[in-house]
Every structure is written in structure tokens, then in C-alpha cells.
Amino acid sequence: MNWDWSAVSDFMPLFWEGLLVTLQALALGSLISFTLGLVWALLMRTPTRWVQWPVGIVTEFVRDTPLLVQLFFLFYVLPEWGVTLSAMTTGVLAIGLHYSTYTMQVYRAGIDAVPAGQWEAATALNLPRGRTWRVVILPQAVRRVVPALGNYVIAMLKDTPMLMVITVLDLLGRAKLFSQEHFQFTEPLTVIGVAFIVISSLASLLLRTLERRLVR
């Protein structure tokens, strides 16, 4: 097998375009998953069972359904119900919704890990319940779970190539497009493989650094 550096050079413009799409999908998907996961976690702590049960059923269903199936459903089935979204929007929503069911569990563990004395102190100070959550509980809970949330960012990065099945031209989509046009597969696929390794390694290093600072 001969390595063709000219193919790598020709692929690089498509690579940078695909990388931008991949990072956009990752950033927006992470934002949705972190926000919605916190909402799920808070709703599951409400004393009303009529709130807990629907949330539990929905999140369990989403968690137990493959992300690929959810992508196809949102992209191909929703238009039949009059809801049409762009491929990128669909991909971001699918990733965010899917991983929110996992980040929910992370938040719940973080909230449960807050010492009971913190709740008692807030009660003794007569703090309103909303202020107790905002000022006392959530800051401590989120600080504890940042490393775990970061691990899901890496997992989302590894799942972004699935967006290709709904026509999103991310890194893998651009590589496939280039390979079909030039009949060269080794170079573009190797380049994006290395790119994923580098991005994941940098993210892991950042998470370890952040975790050490939060432990102080």
C-alpha cells in the first residue's frame, strides 16, 4: 500500500469544514444534554408522582433506544407529522436528548452526595427552597460531577459520525464524500481517525486538569 500525501493535501479543505461541523454538533449537543439532564434530575426529585413517573418513563425509553434509531425517527418520521427540521438541528437534538438521560443520573448522584448538613443549614437560615437549590445545593453538586459530565462529552464526540446517516457532512461525511469522488479511502479515513484520537486525548487531559483543580 502506497501512502499518497497529495490525497491528504486535497482532503484537508474538506477536513477543516467537517471538523467545524463536528465541533458545532458536539458543543450544541453537550449544551442540550447538560441543561436537559439537570431538568430531568430536578423533576425526578419532586414529591409528585405524576411528575416523576412520566419523566422516568420517557428518560428510560430514550436511554434504552439506540441513538441511530432516534436519529432516523426525528429526521424521517417527524416530517410526516408536520415537523421538519434541518439535518444539523435533528442531529444536535438527538445527541442532546439521548445523552441527557445519562447526565441526569450524574446530576442525581451529585445531588445525593451533598451532605445532609447543607440542607439542614439552609433550613436553619430560613432560605427559600429555590435559593437553597441555586446557592447551596447545585453549586456543590455540579462541582462534584464535572469530571463525569466531561466523560460524556468524549462519548458524544465518538457518536457524532452517526450524523452522517441523516446527511450531515461531519468529519466522516466529508471523508466519505472525498473517497467516493477520488477513489481513495485510506488517507481521508486515517486522517479523521487520528483527528478523533487527538481531540479525545486533549479532552481527557483537560478533564484530568479540571478534576485536580476542583478537588483542591
Q: What is the pLDDT of residues 138-185, one digit of tens each?
A: 888 888 888 888 889 999 999 999 999 998 989 999 999 999 888 888
Q: Is 40 helix (H, G, I), strand (E, B) or coil?
A: helix
**pLDDT recorded at residue 64:** 93
End-to-end Cα separation, the chain, in angstroms? 51
User: What does the alpha-carbon distance between residue 176 and residue 63 come to, in Å, rounded to a whole number?
Assistant: 29
Q: What pLDDT does 74 receive?
A: 93
* Neighbouring C-beta atoms of residue 195, cutoff 10 Å: 16
Read off the amino acid at residue 95. I
For residues 32 and 93, the answer to whether their CB atoms sit within 8 Å is yes
The candidate with the shortest Cα–Cα distance to 39, out of 104, 109, 135, is: 104
Q: What is the pTM of this model?
A: 0.88
Residues of the chain with pLDDT under 70: 1, 214-216
